[in-house]
A = this chain, B = another copy of it.
Amino acid sequence: MQPSGVSRRRLLGAAGVGAIAAGAIGVGAGYAVGDKPVPVVPDKDALPVGFDGRHQAGIMTPAQDRLHFAAFDMTAAERDDLISLLKDWTTAARQMAQGNDIGDFGAVAGAPYSPPEDTGEAQGLPPSGLTITIGFGRSLFVDAKGAARFGLDGQLPERLIELPGFSGDRLDPAISNGDIAIQACANDPQVAVHAIRNLARIAFGRASVRYSQMGFGRTSSTSTAQVTPRNLFGFKDGTANIKAESEKDVEDFVWVQDGDGPAWMTGGSYLVSRKIDMRIETWDREPLNGQEAIIGRAKGSGGPLSGGDEFATIDFEAKDDAGQPRIDPKSHLRLAHPDVNNGAKLLRRGYNFVDGSNGLGQLSAGLFFIAYQRDPAKQFVQIQGSLAGLQNDLLNEYIVHVSSGLFACPPGVGPKGYWGEGLFA
């Protein structure tokens, strides 16, 4: 495969929305705008996100709208297989991030008697802000008996711990952990699906998909220029998230620094994934003031219950007329707050999901939580330890963690580099 790729770009946007600009269509149920001018917005799908750089894209990149996340297990045992896989994946990811098909011939050109090098469903779609981010699980370095794999002796970061069990966890091993994680984010889910599918195809004979997860509504902002979105409890989520504009927080809490562990991880970050099922039907019967007390924020504005708007300073000491704390000490807001977690913060980058329905007439819905951090023990483990358990976060009556993963995401690569190359230096 050549890094140039086969262009799939066309000016799809303008034609695709022509039906709207034309106003109502004849059959009764058209767009109700009549002759009113249609507002215009920047076409964020038209833009590619740079792939090469000091850090991987998809971490501090302003969170895109959609997710396809997949964990892979290696099916090959040789170090060379792992290296060749990482090289091939990097080449393909770099091409797709530009909005191109992969391979020399892509989906439609060149070699009619061979399977196409690209599966083709993204033909004609713009880059859509695609980022593809890789992380390595602990099991890539050591097997269940503690023996090194792929000759990676001595490269296992101390910070790539086995996550402890938390009170209330009901983890399904089939959708937890994995040797390698790939996070594909894009504004168009078809583009994110195309990325995972083609990487899975390239991996054939070397690695296979262990599990994958679709997500739709980003549940955090990672830039001050983004509006805070809402999770499936209907609340703004991620108001106090680390933002790209807070450079000190980004360096202190997101990027692995020199001396934090093996050199190959400097400039990288640790990804924690947790699939969190929400009992939304039960939540929906909770009165508004109860919901707000559990979260610690107003549902409308997102402001803390101590007063003020979404970004107002939180006052955990504020009391109401009856002398009770305005923000419940067991609220989600307080127990997740840096003040009660030795100052720990996370970069959250999760997505809402709906996996259809269960057999009880309920939506199988929730939050696919993703957080990036410099040191999982001091950050995710600290905070989740404060939250977990029915005696702690009031929200735990309505949620259950069903999967878990921790992955070491290496730094970014130069124009000729490949993911994880520092591991084999």
Instruction: Check if B22 sits within 8 Å of A225, measured CB to CB.
Output: yes
User: A197 vs B122: C-alpha distance in the bound complex, in angstroms?
Assistant: 30
User: A208 vs B358: C-alpha distance in the bound complex, in angstroms?
Assistant: 11
Minimal beta-carbon separation of A167 from chain B (angstroms)? 27
Q: A1-41 CB contact bits vs B (8 Å, 1 = yes)? A: 00000000000111111111110111111111100001111
Minimal beta-carbon separation of A320 from chain B (angstroms)? 13
Minimal beta-carbon separation of A173 from chain B (angstroms)? 12
Instruction: Check if B280 sits within 8 Å of A197, measured CB to CB.
Output: yes
Contacts of A410 in B (CB 8 A): none
Instruction: Check if B209 sits within 8 Å of A361, measured CB to CB.
Output: yes
Contacts of A113 in B (CB 8 A): 287-289
Q: A22-B225, A41-B43, A289-B113 are in contact. Are A412 and B28 (CB under 8 A)?
A: yes
User: A124 vs B225: C-alpha distance in the bound complex, in angstroms?
Assistant: 16
Q: A122-134 CB contact bits vs B (8 Å, 1 = yes)? A: 1110000101000
Instruction: Check if B50 sits within 8 Å of A21, measured CB to CB.
Output: no
Is A309 part of the contact surface with B, judged by Cβ < 8 Å?
no
Instruction: Check if B46 sits within 8 Å of A38, measured CB to CB.
Output: yes
Contacts of A196 in B (CB 8 A): 363
Count of chain A residues near B, Cβ 8 A: 121
Instruction: Check if B39 sits within 8 Å of A112, measured CB to CB.
Output: no
Instruction: Check if A208 sits within 8 Å of B361, measured CB to CB.
Output: yes
Is A154 part of the contact surface with B, judged by Cβ < 8 Å?
no
Is A404 part of the contact surface with B, judged by Cβ < 8 Å?
no
User: A33 vs B60: C-alpha distance in the bound complex, in angstroms?
Assistant: 16
State which of A88-96, A213-221, A324-332, A384-392 sits at the interface with chain B: A213-221
Is A270 part of the contact surface with B, judged by Cβ < 8 Å?
no
Q: A107-B300, A116-B299 are in contact. Are A25 and B123 (CB under 8 A)?
A: no
A44 touches which one: B20, B30, B112, B245 (CB < 8 A)? B20
Minimal beta-carbon separation of A116 from chain B (angstroms)? 5
Q: A376-399 CB contact bits vs B (8 Å, 1 = yes)? A: 000000000000000000000000
Q: A16-B226, A47-B38, A361-B210 are in contact. Are A27 and B119 (CB under 8 A)?
A: no
Contacts of A287 in B (CB 8 A): 112-115
Instruction: Check if A209 sits within 8 Å of B42, measured CB to CB.
Output: no
Q: A354-385 CB contact bits vs B (8 Å, 1 = yes)? A: 11110101110100000000000000000000
Instruction: Check if B212 sits within 8 Å of A354, measured CB to CB.
Output: yes
Instruction: Check if B42 sits within 8 Å of A212, measured CB to CB.
Output: no
Instruction: Check if B288 sits within 8 Å of A25, measured CB to CB.
Output: no
Is A262 part of the contact surface with B, judged by Cβ < 8 Å?
no
Contacts of A226 in B (CB 8 A): 15-16, 18-19
User: A356 vs B31: C-alpha distance in the bound complex, in angstroms?
Assistant: 34
Q: A46-B39, A49-B32 are in contact. Are A230 and B120 (CB under 8 A)?
A: yes
The 5 closest A-B pairs by CB, nearest first: A120-B234, A208-B361, A108-B300, A19-B225, A29-B57
Seen from chain A, the residues whose Cβ lies within 8 Å of a Cβ on chain B are 12-22, 24-33, 38-44, 46-50, 53-62, 66, 68, 70, 107-109, 111-116, 118-124, 129, 131, 174, 188-190, 193, 196-197, 200-201, 204, 208-214, 216-217, 223, 225-227, 230-235, 244-245, 247, 250, 280-281, 284-289, 291-292, 298-300, 352, 354-357, 359, 361-363, 365, 412
Complex A-B: 16 CB contacts under 8 Å? A12-B227, A14-B41, A19-B62, A21-B42, A29-B59, A33-B47, A39-B42, A41-B41, A109-B300, A111-B288, A112-B288, A115-B288, A193-B363, A197-B280, A201-B284, A209-B363
